[in-house]
Structure 1
Amino acid sequence: MRKLKLLPISLALAAIIGFTGCSQSNDATSEGADETTTLRFAHFWPATAATHTEIFEPWARKVEEESGGRLKVEIYPSATLSKPDATYDATAKGIVDIGSQLQGYTNGRFPLTQVTELPGLSNSATQMNCMLQTLYDDGVISSEYEDTHLLFMMGTGPGGMHTIDRAIRTPDDLKGLRMRRPSAIAGDIIEAAGGTPVGLPATDIYTSLQRGVLDGLSLPWDAVGSFRLIELTNTHTNIPFYSSAIMVTMNKDKYESLPTDLKKVIDDNSGKMMGAIAGKVFDAEDDKFMAEAQAKGDTMIDIPDPLNDPQWRGPLEAGTQKYLKDIEALGLDAQTVYQKAQEASAACKS
């Protein structure tokens, strides 16, 4: 009789234990689902730049909203978390979770991607962004980013030349000038024209101009405005002889550690859609800052088609061929990538 009485009690205890275990398991699952993952995003633009306020901040808010608050993006502008030329490596190593950097800041690291920077391939940021993302999606340049999870490509509008009281109308006008170059490609062209290219981060240009270390610089208008260089320069040559490629990428392990639904949030805010948004922002900034310089009374020199200009064609072609030969020397198929870039350029022309 005693054993028969104990049986229901044992079953009841087992049921209680089982219910408690299930409850704890459900709580744990719920707790995991409510957990917040913080993503640290590093870049070199000032916090006042449109790249930060109109591209990166809205992107971060959208990711946070669509994740229901389970993803939080902390943005670190002005190279506060990683150096401008080391952000990609910092992302690959997990020092930061997301990073944005110009490929041209690490010479030789992204040689195939930088083919898109050559003269004649892009006349707007929108076209440049479309061309970059197309080449990445088609697998033409994707091998250069295998150690990270690429989110999206960006690109600037055409870069011109900006000086203080030095008019650059022909290549001869560059002779003897120390010009800050944004990449090896732009540097090759400046050198072919007789100038002296100087490599330094965009964050150092302002003080270098003030101290007379530089005579001028080569940058797209959006960067000239973002880094307050309009305050110092007063003579501008609008010549589309290069564009700059930019990437936004994520640490691969961090991406893979996310649950499927949060990966989807990241994926839904990646690729060509983001490149198109960025292109519109860069193009609008180019127009805005050019107008600001004109309103200030600065001198404007326009060379809209340098590849067909008898004085500029030579240096531009020389710089292009030098870069392609340098890539071929690395055992890479430069001509095929150049051809694919030309095809993507034509397809992306706005």
Structure 2
Amino acid sequence: MKTPRLTAIRFAALAALTLGALGAQAQDKPVELKFAHWLPATHPLAKLGFEPWAKSVEAASKGSIKVMLFPAQQLGKAADHYDMARDGIAQMTWVNPGYQAGRFPLIAAGELPFLLGKPGPASAALDQWYRKYAGQEMKDVKFCFAHVHVGTFHSKNPITEPGQLKGMKIRSANGTVAQTMSLLGATNVQVSAPEARDAIQKGLADAITFPWKSIITFGIDKAVKYHTDMRFYASDFVWVMNKPWYDGLAAGQKKVIDDHCNNEWAGKVGADWGNSEDSGREEMEKAGGHTLVKLTPAQMDAWKKAVEPIYADWVKATSASGVNGQAALDDLRKELSTRGGAN
């Protein structure tokens, strides 16, 4: 006859085995996430965006998702990063859609001149607005989130009027800026950010469109001395993921990724990087050998009037893709205004 004590011991052992089995079942299989981007590993966005995101994913997944960062075009050229995520060369990539002009017409709204202002609120607004279009325009990847930087002209000679651009060679930040430069009579020099300093120093470009702090980060401050003091353009960026990799994750791991691919992260990365970029303006102002070129209200009005056709072109191109372009632009303006991200 079994004693009550022996029965209790057996029940305890059985319970321990059951709990152990459940614990093993709950432990997700470790996976590696290769995250490729094309900035230097020391760039502010790497320190303020990529690294904190990676650490947060690892912590939230209890180490079952290991994020490996591949900076500085290690896995492919800057313009190839969207296709790298689609094809699984990396599980996640940081993409400038404007490096492939015309391929992503909807998100190009974030590149329209003088539309976006403070980068943090503007990033949150653009991301929220774009989520209803991402499944259409970027259907062969998993969209994570979007954010922006805002920049201006940095040049060898001061730029104050749109008419000055005629005949100049300008390194454009994206396809919409390139379109704007063509409208204003400039010649476009299309090179990626890591190649921009070389283009200026070799005389291939007279001016560059860039955010403030990155002028210093990429060493371009050694090649230009004048900086037009306005928020002229924006570049938008997306974090995208390989779909088959995401689909193969355990349910808990998918939730971790979903919790890190949301509007909150878009606003956080946009604000942290945007504030860092904006701080470069003050550094330039204090640095010897650099001049911030101030504009009068009349000059600003002249700039805004000169770029109006770019808005009409975007509405036309968007409407051709099956989306009501004017309604979409109105929605984006409303989102920017609501969140305090309008220029």
| Distance in 2, Cα, partners of 1:119 & 1:305 | 17
Residues 303 and 240 from structure 1, CA distance in 2 versus in 1: closer, same or farther, beyond 3 angstroms?
farther
Aligned to 1:229: 220
Q: 8 Å contact 2:167–2:186 — kept in the other structure?
A: yes
Number of residues of Structure 1 aligned to a counterpart in Structure 2: 327
Cα deviation 1:232-290 (Å, max 9, x = unaligned): 21101123232111001111111111111111111122211111211222222223211
Secondary structure at the aligned position of 2:143 is classed as: strand
| Distance in 1, Cα, partners of 2:236 & 2:296 | 21
Aligned to 2:78: 84
Aligned to 2:58: 64
CA-CA distance at 1:141 after TM superposition = 4.4
Aligned to 2:143: 150
Aligned to 1:326: 317
Alignment of 1:1-350 (within 5 A): 30=24, 33=27, 35-137=29-131, 139-157=132-150, 159-164=151-156, 166-297=157-288, 298-303=290-295, 309-349=300-340
CA-CA distance at 1:31 after TM superposition = 8.2
CA-CA distance at 1:140 after TM superposition = 4.0
Q: 8 Å contact 1:153–1:271 — kept in the other structure?
A: no
Larger Rg: 1
Residues 142 and 156 from structure 1, CA distance in 2 versus in 1: closer, same or farther, beyond 3 angstroms?
farther
Residues 86 and 121 from structure 1, CA distance in 2 versus in 1: closer, same or farther, beyond 3 angstroms?
same
CA-CA distance at 1:105 after TM superposition = 1.0
Residues 173 and 97 from structure 1, CA distance in 2 versus in 1: closer, same or farther, beyond 3 angstroms?
same
CA-CA distance at 1:322 after TM superposition = 2.7
Q: 8 Å contact 1:181–1:218 — kept in the other structure?
A: yes
Look up the equivalent residue of 1:85 and give its one-letter code.
A
| Distance in 2, Cα, partners of 1:247 & 1:62 | 19
CA-CA distance at 1:41 after TM superposition = 0.2
CA-CA distance at 1:160 after TM superposition = 0.4
Residues 304 and 105 from structure 1, CA distance in 2 versus in 1: closer, same or farther, beyond 3 angstroms?
farther
Secondary structure at the aligned position of 1:266 is classed as: helix
Residues 149 and 181 from structure 1, CA distance in 2 versus in 1: closer, same or farther, beyond 3 angstroms?
same
Q: 8 Å contact 1:222–1:282 — kept in the other structure?
A: no
| Distance in 2, Cα, partners of 1:338 & 1:304 | 28
Look up the equivalent residue of 1:93 and give its one-letter code.
D
Look up the equivalent residue of 2:191 and give its one-letter code.
L
| Distance in 1, Cα, partners of 2:116 & 2:140 | 28
Q: 8 Å contact 2:35–2:70 — kept in the other structure?
A: yes
| Distance in 2, Cα, partners of 1:207 & 1:190 | 20
Look up the equivalent residue of 2:293 and give its one-letter code.
I
TM-score w.r.t. length of structure 1: 0.86
Aligned to 1:14: none
CA RMSD after TM alignment? 2.6
Look up the equivalent residue of 1:220 and give its one-letter code.
P
| Distance in 2, Cα, partners of 1:58 & 1:101 | 18
Residues 207 and 110 from structure 1, CA distance in 2 versus in 1: closer, same or farther, beyond 3 angstroms?
same
5+ residue gaps, structure 2, are: 1-16
Look up the equivalent residue of 1:185 and give its one-letter code.
T
Cα deviation 1:291-325 (Å, max 9, x = unaligned): 2211223111134878x834223321122223333
| Distance in 1, Cα, partners of 2:279 & 2:159 | 22
CA-CA distance at 1:134 after TM superposition = 1.2
| Distance in 1, Cα, partners of 2:122 & 2:217 | 19
Residues 63 and 329 from structure 1, CA distance in 2 versus in 1: closer, same or farther, beyond 3 angstroms?
closer
| Distance in 2, Cα, partners of 1:305 & 1:126 | 25
Secondary structure at the aligned position of 1:81 is classed as: coil
Q: 8 Å contact 2:28–2:250 — kept in the other structure?
A: no
Residues 265 and 304 from structure 1, CA distance in 2 versus in 1: closer, same or farther, beyond 3 angstroms?
farther
CA-CA distance at 1:334 after TM superposition = 1.7
5+ residue gaps, structure 1, are: 1-22
Which range moved further: 263-272 or 223-232? 223-232
Residues 152 and 330 from structure 1, CA distance in 2 versus in 1: closer, same or farther, beyond 3 angstroms?
closer
Cα deviation 1:93-123 (Å, max 9, x = unaligned): 1111000111111111211111122133211
